[in-house]
Structure 1
Amino acid sequence: MISVEGVTKVFGRNTAVDNATFSVERPGMIGIIGRSGAGKSTFLRMMNRLTDATEGRLLFEGRDVLALKGAEKRAWQSQCAMIFQQFNLVPRMDVVSNVLHGLLNRRGTMATMFNLWPAADINRAIDILDRLGIAEQAPKRAEALSGGQQQRVAIARALMQDPKVILADEPIASLDPMNAQVVMDALRRIHDEDGRTVIANLHTLDTARRYCDRVIGMRGGRIVFDGTPDLLTTAAAREIYGADENFSESATSTSIEALEPETSADEAYAARLLTN
């Protein structure tokens, strides 16, 4: 389904992604983990064609999406939806209009400028919002919603594209643990119910183990781990994060339990730092 062959991105003297190679045989929920600067976001941006690769091929159903241009490139971006850490919504626009913006590549410029949408599209947008538990927020401005609700609007916008692949770049990094769980539950449900491939960049081990079928670990632009969650041992995590024997998984936890009263103050503070 997806074949990544030697994909590399060089910025000046810095190699952000170094010879990334792996394949995906069937739709799955895949987590990419690693410390900041590991190349996770750059890889997703290349896959979505927001950034050009320096070299390599990325085949989707036999077609090299890194070589696409013009209308074919835009068509691929419709099939490969992107969800961002900071939501990328229009704050003063109502929620349902933000969701409808998932159709920008398929609608005329004038219709988009004047916010003119067919009733069928509006109804579909509301149905998607309802599926994500926020249909009642449809008429509100996006800026009036909580962070977790805004991220679900961003997911709804992605679903409006009816994509084959959803890329999520740190989708819960700005959220508190409760909202992080709601968002990750939604992404997992989308994979399970729709059969869509979801690839999510994640900072934390517990999230990757709980939600993903497969985990890819990146360090310094290179893939240093590729396996099932049960293989993501503490030793493997140390290799991914470049940590010594003092490495503690509790410092990367985003679980709701990490903020319960019995948790130490130091652990709770570390968890808050990672989710803010």
Structure 2
Amino acid sequence: MLTVENLTKRFGANTAVDRASFTVERPMMIGIIGRSGAGKSTFLRMMNRLTDATEGKLVFEGRDVLQLKGSEKRLWQSDCAMIFQQFNLVPRMDVVSNVLHGTLARRGTLATMFNLYPREDIHRAIDILERLGIAAHAAKRAEALSGGQQQRVAIARALMQDPKVVLADEPIASLDPMNAQLVMDDLRRIHDEDGRMVIANLHTLDTARRYCDRVIGMRAGRIVFDGTPAQLTTGVARDIYGAGADFSENATSTEIRDPVATAVIRAAEVAV
């Protein structure tokens, strides 16, 4: 389904991603971990074609997406949705309009300028917000929502594209533990229920173990680990992060083990 072959990105004398190679045979939820500067974000940006690769191949369903140009490149970016750490919403625009921006790649220039959307798209946007538990906020400005709610609006916008692949670049890095769990729950459901491939850059090991089917570790641009969550031991993590014997993953844990509390938070958001 996805083959990454010697994917490399250089910025002058610096190599951000160094001959990364791996294969994914079926839709999975994949976590990419590593220190800041390890090349995780650069890899996702190359996959989404926000950044051009220096060399290598990235073949999805038989097409090398690195070779796509013009309308074919834009179509790929619609099939490969991107979720960012800082949400990238229009703060003063209402929530449902932000979600509808997920259709921009397939809309005409005139319709985009005058913010004209088919009724079926509006209904679909509200249905997606309902699925994510935030339909009650559809008419509010995006800036009025909490960080966790804004990130779920960004997820809804990605789903409006009806993508085959969802890329999430540190989607919970700026969130508190409870909202981080809500966002990761939603990303996992998108994979489980829709059969979409989800690739997320993550900064906590417990999150990668809990939510992902496969974990890829990057260090200095290279893939140094590729395995199951069970294989991601503390010793392996030390190697990925280049840490010493005093390394403790507990300091960065975001795990919440109270499903009742999670349900209460969702119910409270709907009631607001």
User: Normalised by the shorter chain, which TM-score bucket?
Assistant: over 0.9
* Offset of residue 174 of structure 1: 0.6
Amino acid paired to 1:56: G
Partner residue, 1:57:
57
Partner residue, 1:84:
84
- Encode CA deviations 1:201-230: one digit per residue, 9 max, x unaligned: 000100000000000000000000000000
**TM-score (norm. length: structure 1):** 0.92
Runs of 5+ consecutive residues of structure 1 not aligned to the other structure? 261-276
Partner residue, 1:67:
67
Partner residue, 1:266:
none
Runs of 5+ consecutive residues of structure 2 not aligned to the other structure? 259-272
| SS of structure 2 residue aligned to 1:127 | helix
Tell me which moved more, 120-129 or 108-117: 108-117
Give the percent of matched residue pairs that are identical in Structure 1 and Structure 2. Answer: 83
Partner residue, 1:167:
167
Partner residue, 1:183:
183
| SS of structure 2 residue aligned to 1:82 | strand
Q: How many residues align?
A: 258
Distance 1:137 1:113 in 2: 24
| SS of structure 2 residue aligned to 1:20 | strand
Distance 1:125 1:256 in 2: 29
Distance 1:135 1:193 in 2: 19
Partner residue, 2:145:
145
Partner residue, 1:217:
217
Amino acid paired to 1:68: L
- Encode CA deviations 1:165-222: one digit per residue, 9 max, x unaligned: 0000000001000000000000000000000000000001000000000000000000
| SS of structure 1 residue aligned to 2:112 | helix
Aligned pairs for 1:195-206 within 5 A: 195-206=195-206
Distance 1:44 1:156 in 2: 19
The runs of at least 4 aligned residues of structure 1 exceeding 3 Å deviation read none
Aligned Cα root-mean-square deviation (Å): 0.9
| SS of structure 2 residue aligned to 1:245 | coil
* Offset of residue 255 of structure 1: 1.7
| SS of structure 2 residue aligned to 1:256 | coil
* Offset of residue 256 of structure 1: 3.1
Aligned pairs for 1:1-276 within 5 A: 1-256=1-256
Tell me which moved more, 10-19 or 112-121: 112-121
| SS of structure 1 residue aligned to 2:52 | coil
* Offset of residue 129 of structure 1: 0.2
* Offset of residue 22 of structure 1: 0.1
Distance 2:176 2:67 in 1: 39
Distance 2:12 2:108 in 1: 38
- Encode CA deviations 1:101-128: one digit per residue, 9 max, x unaligned: 0000111112112111111000000000
Amino acid paired to 1:192: D
* Offset of residue 61 of structure 1: 0.5
Distance 2:78 2:143 in 1: 25
**TM-score (norm. length: structure 2):** 0.94
